[in-house]
Amino acid sequence: MMNNLEGQRIPDVTFRTRKDHEWVDVTSSEIFSGKTVVLFSLPGAFTPTCSSSHVPRYNQLAPVFGANGVDEIVCVSVNDAFVMNEWKRSQNADRVTFLPDGNGEFSDKMGLLVNKDDLGFGKRSWRYSMLVRDGVIEKMFIEPEEPGDPYGVSDADTMFKYLAPEGELPLDVAVFTRDGCPFCVRAKGLLHDAGIEFEELLLNRDYTDQTLRAVSSSITYPQVFIGGTLVGGADDLEEWLQRRGATEARSAA
């Protein structure tokens, strides 16, 4: 059974990191002492689940974690500093600290270093997450010991629900745009003014008109999707924001 170290202090190790082409040693104490840290660990950089789900969602939710008392979000993998730095760049994960556990020392002391020889990986970390306050592990979410690479409890949403049961997650917003579209500029401005983060998808760079026809009955621009629902164009978005504001005002009254 995988180790659960809740109530214990974080292992004392030194991480060999690279910054500005120089080696920089970072100790456990420097990372965890006097801070509240969410750490998630995974089998390997550039691997499918790690790149498509685990890292992006923690990076997206970093602001709401911060608003609920988390000082830093850390990603650990048994990879070297060069690989971890390149992976962070490719993921655009500027809100997450990537720590290389190249020799597996940290994972081993956590009792979560496992054999992945069947995949040609050698020794790797089991997938888990934990909340650490001033160097003491408060909560761990360890994936079950099942074949393959289970991913169901170490995700960012599970950790956030533990940290802030009544907390509100950010909206998932995507905006389909095209170059030279003034209505697209207006829609993006409305979202910026409302403090709502969004992902912009630009025609003929990120998608084609065929993609838009597949997901929407309209091919006018922009097309704003929120939480899986088509809101519409800039006017529709403005109305949606007004309704949302009125609802929030009633709730606060």
Q: What is the mean pLDDT of each run of 10 residues along the chain (253 residues)?
A: 90 96 96 98 94 96 97 98 97 97 97 89 95 98 91 97 94 96 98 96 95 90 96 97 88 75
Are 26 and 140 part of one and the same domain?
yes
CA–CA gap between residue 36 and residue 144 (Å, rounded): 25
Are 181 and 159 part of one and the same domain?
no
How does DSSP classify residue 51?
I
* Marked catalytic residue, from 50, 75, 181, 184: 50
Domain end, chosen from 141, 163, 185, is at 163
Are 221 and 155 part of one and the same domain?
no
pTM of the model: 0.90
Q: Which of 112, 137, 130 is nearest to 9 (CA)?
A: 137
Number of neighbours of residue 153 by Cβ within 10 angstroms: 15
Number of domains in the chain: 2
Domain end, chosen from 137, 163, 189, is at 163
Q: Which of 76, 82, 83 is nearest to 101 (CA)?
A: 76
Task: Tell me if residue 50 is catalytic.
Answer: yes
Number of neighbours of residue 36 by Cβ within 10 angstroms: 18
